Copies of this chain bind each other. A is one copy, B any other.
Amino acid sequence: MREPQVDLGRQAVAEALGTGLLVAVVVGSGIMAERLTDDMALMLLGNTLPTGAMLVVLIALLGPLSGAHFNPVVTLVLAIRDRWAWRRGLAYIASQVAGGLAGTMLAQAMFGAPLLELAGQARSGAGLWLAEGVAGFGLVATILVGSALARPALPWLVGLYIVAGYWFTASTCFANPAVTLARAFTDSFSGIRLGDTPGFILAQIVGALLALALTGWLLRPLEEQAS
């Protein structure tokens, strides 16, 4: 998440590529896991480790190019904090959404499933919305505090946070509107019914904004000392 040195076109490609590969891992490892075992905990473990591992890789590789958001709520929060131009924020989010859908198609194609199909898995209710709020809060807090106080470790911290999130949030930590939408088009382990995505996305946004407010307050003395 260093100062970008490449043009917006390359940044958009990096965001699309990163989000696409992330979704390909989430969806693909979920299909792999559900084909290999009947144990649901083992399925979640087979979904968790690849996702966390790939996040570390993608953030380390693409962070220097685009900041490695791969996530509209991350872009939203940074655009608010750093006063981005509308054009740049929308280019990021459009790339993330498009890349995410392409990632689902890639995973489906590799496993011989329809390129896009509607998911049947219901994910709704107060507990899950609370969980997605927590998921979004924790992810954005990790990124904001980590960028300020532990920048070289940031790829690891995000990957490890997601490893924890898959298990401690009742919703398995979607935490990302672009990924949530992309997961509506696979009828497999990681899928979510299209009609359930707005609740998840709204909760993620609320959690992210709370993280922006709380971490801003927590870090204020350090920023004043630095300036």
Q: Please report the C-alpha to C-alpha distance between residue A39 and residue B37 in the assembled complex, in whole angstroms.
A: 6
Query: Which stretch from A52-60, A80-88, A180-188 is at the chain B interface?
Result: A52-60
Measured between C-beta atoms, what is the minimum distance from A134 to chain B in Å? 7
Give the chain B neighbours of A54 by CB distance below 8 A.
160-161, 164, 168
Whether a CB of chain B sits under 8 angstroms from the CB of A78 is no
Number of copies: 4
- Are B218 and A157 in contact (CB-based, < 8 A)? no
Question: Restricting to A148-165, which residues have a CB under 8 Å from any CB of B?
Answer: 149-150, 153, 155-157, 159-161, 163-165
Measured between C-beta atoms, what is the minimum distance from A156 to chain B in Å? 7
Measured CB to CB, the nearest residue on chain B to A137 is B21
Whether a CB of chain B sits under 8 angstroms from the CB of A45 is yes
Number of A positions contacting B (CB below 8 A):
81
Question: Restricting to A1-29, which residues have a CB under 8 Å from any CB of B?
Answer: 5-7, 10, 13-14, 21, 24-25, 27-29
Give the chain B neighbours of A213 by CB distance below 8 A.
none
- Are B28 and A37 in contact (CB-based, < 8 A)? no
Which one of A25, A31, A52, A170 has the greatest number of beta carbons of chain B within 10 Å?
A170
Give the chain B neighbours of A128 by CB distance below 8 A.
110
Whether a CB of chain B sits under 8 angstroms from the CB of A194 is no
**A and B contact pairs by CB, cutoff 8 A, 28 listed:** A5-B222, A5-B225, A6-B218, A7-B221, A10-B221, A29-B168, A31-B170, A33-B41, A36-B40, A36-B41, A37-B42, A39-B42, A41-B42, A41-B43, A42-B45, A45-B46, A45-B49, A50-B166, A52-B53, A53-B163, A60-B150, A61-B157, A64-B150, A65-B218, A109-B127, A109-B130, A110-B128, A110-B134
